[in-house]
């Protein structure tokens, strides 16, 4: 599969899964869920979907809820995609914000 096609598929899955999340996943009050990245394997058999949660202390709870509904979410995504084979989805917690926050705190301590 070409790199350009892979990027298009990743963007398609990201867009459609974001729409699905709006209807199917109800985050706790005061939290925010964002799909930050999708990476589909060359053979189109698997798509890793990175999910960012803010504030971070809700992350495990939300990821657990998402994984409970993974079969349902997969079915909804499959109905929206017109590609073959349909990639199997897997959710991964995006910890970029958490790491950046830790680094920023370290720099703040050094500056003081």
pLDDT in tens, 26-59: 999 999 999 999 999 988 899 999 999 988 889 9
Mean pLDDT, the chain, rounded, equals: 90
Residue 3 to residue 101: CA distance in whole angstroms: 32
How high is the pLDDT of residue 95? 81
On the question of pLDDT at 4 being above 90, the answer is no
In the three-class reduction of DSSP (H, G, I as helix; E, B as strand; rest coil), residue 39 is classed as: strand
| CATH code for the domain in which residue 47 is found | 3.30.300.20
Cα–Cα distance, 53 to 68 (Å, whole number): 17
What is the domain count for the chain? 1
* Nearest CA-CA partner of 35 in 72, 5, 73: 73
3-state class of 15 per DSSP?
Answer: helix
Domain limits at 17? Answer: 3-111
Classify the phi-psi angles of 30: left when phi > 0, otherwise alpha if psi is within -120 to 50, otherwise beta. Answer: left
Helix, strand, or coil here: 35?
strand
């Amino acid at each position: 599969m070409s790199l350009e096609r892979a990027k298009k598929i990743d963007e398609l899955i990201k867009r459609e899964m974001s729409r699905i999340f709006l209807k199917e996943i109800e985050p706790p009050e005061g939290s925010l869920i964002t799909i930050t990245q999708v990476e589909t394997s060359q053979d189109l058999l698997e798509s890793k979907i990175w999910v960012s949660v803010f504030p971070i202390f809700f992350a495990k709870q939300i990821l657990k809820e998402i994984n409970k509904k993974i079969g349902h979410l997969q079915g909804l995504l499959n109905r929206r995609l017109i590609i073959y084979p349909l990639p199997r989805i897997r959710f991964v917690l995006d910890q970029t914000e958490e790491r950046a926050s830790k680094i920023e705190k370290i720099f703040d301590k050094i500056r003081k």
